[in-house]
Amino acid sequence: KKSDTLTLDLERTKDILASLGEIKQQQFLVGFALETNNELENAKQKLKKKNLNLIVLNSLQDKGAGFKGDTNKVTFIDNKNNVTEFELKSKTEVAKDLLNEIVKQVNA
């Protein structure tokens, strides 16, 4: 061993979700966003840019939200500019809310 550190060079990959958005026809596409600044506006821009039906904005602004725990606080934004904010809840409940929203919109 010459060093206690390793360097890993990464190559940028193609944006898979944006690629799907370019070719979608009747598919329902959902994206996820984690923003540190201008959360809502940046998520709306991603929704439009990637041609999504729905984007789930994850919040890191609230204690208990994010990746480290079993709870999260999210906001759903759809392509009709409807915004639905949720309180902090279990990730299982977030998943149920997301599935219900997808079913509601697909059946609309």
Asked which of 4-8, 55-59, 102-106 is least confident by mean pLDDT, the reply is 4-8
pTM comes to: 0.85
Q: How many helices (H) and strands (E) does the chain have?
A: 3, 6
Residue 2 to residue 70: CA distance in whole angstroms: 40
pLDDT of residue 36: 83
Q: Tens digits of per-residue pLDDT, 30-46?
A: 999 998 889 999 999 99
In which band, very low, low, confident or very high, does the pLDDT at 3 lie, cut at 50, 70 and 90? confident
- How is residue 2 annotated by DSSP? -
Residues in the chain: 108
Q: Which domains does the chain have, with CATH numbers?
A: 27-106 (3.40.50.10300)
